[in-house]
Chain A
Amino acid sequence: MSAGDVPRQRTAAERSWTARLRTRAEGALPPEKLLPDRQPAYVASWIYVFGALTIAALITIVASGMVLGLKGPAWWHVTGIGRFFNGIHLWSVELFFFAMVVHLWGKFWMGAWRGGRSLTWVAGAVTFLISIATAFTGYLSQQNFDAQWISTQAKDGLNSVGIGAFFNVTNFGQMYTFHVILLPVAVVLLTAWHVLLVRRNGVVPPYVRALAAERAARAEERA
């Protein structure tokens, strides 16, 4: 090592983990990408509405679920207002899955994993699977004969595929904890990650546009 190769002293900003984290976050998601005020022309289609509709339903599910959770799992059986919030919770879940499935079909036929968006696709797919588990534990938390029937049928089914020892679907306390804490937190965090990835990578362009861009790039290379 020569005298000129003396390692440079790190600045105070480089030494601070908060400054490094801020720089990385700003680099990955600059404000104009995080909250854009314009979108490409191809986004002006009804098929791009269903992701936002899924998030709107998720917010309603979480809000109504918080009310139900605060009052306890049996509250909705004994009061009119409890039945109202249970109805809101149930129908927002129906809307959530309806919109999410249409969103999934749209993204599948668009090939939404193109252009370095594979992680966005995977995050969405995992969120879908965890949402199914969350809804399932919701059925187990109803505190009625329906819940008992579903739990015993599911116990047999899960045992038969070899995963019945990891959790007990006939244990109400365990399933209720899964339903109100663990799985909803996972769904919300994964959804947030999914949305941030969409913001960072942008909405996938249609095949026709992507092909035209590819052809133009190839023609430019040849010229």
Chain B
Amino acid sequence: MTALLGRGALATVPLGAVFDLSGRPHYVHWHFFEMSVTNLLVIVLMIVVFVAAILLPFPHRRAEP
């Protein structure tokens, strides 16, 4: 992979070759709750972005009071 990147050939490699999309999906299972790890990660990412959007300062505060 490093050699591939080193030769600058990444642009010609489909993303599906970098991340194995053909393998068996992983699931989180707890009692009645079942969800794929991918979906769970997206939900966690949404929560992180939501919290960051509230906490991070917004640049160029120039508006009417």
Q: Which residues of A contact B (CB under 8 A)?
A: 38-41, 43-47, 49-50, 98, 101-102, 105-106
Contacts and interface: CB of A to CB of B under 8 A. Distances in A.
B53 A47 contact: yes
Given A45-B53, A46-B52, A98 B63 contact: no
Nearest to A36: B64
A90 B65 CA distance: 40
Given A98-B46, A101-B46, A41 B65 contact: yes
B46 A38 contact: no
Contacts of B45: 98
A45 B54 contact: yes
B40 interface: no
B46 A39 contact: no
B7 to A, nearest CB: 22
Given A41-B63, A106-B50, 7 more contacts: A39-B64, A40-B64, A45-B53, A46-B52, A47-B54, A102-B49, A105-B46
Nearest to B62: A44
B61 A44 contact: yes
A46 B58 contact: yes
Given A45-B53, A46-B52, A47-B53, A39 B58 contact: no
Nearest to B45: A98
A3 to B, nearest CB: 54
A40 B58 CA distance: 14
B11 interface: no
Nearest to A45: B58
Given A44-B58, A45-B58, A46-B58, A102 B50 contact: yes
Contacts of A102: 46, 49-50, 53
24 contacts: A38-B63, A39-B63, A41-B61, A41-B63, A41-B64, A43-B63, A44-B58, A44-B61, A44-B62, A44-B63, A45-B53, A45-B58, A46-B53, A46-B54, A46-B58, A50-B53, A98-B42, A98-B46, A98-B49, A101-B46, A102-B49, A102-B50, A102-B53, A105-B46
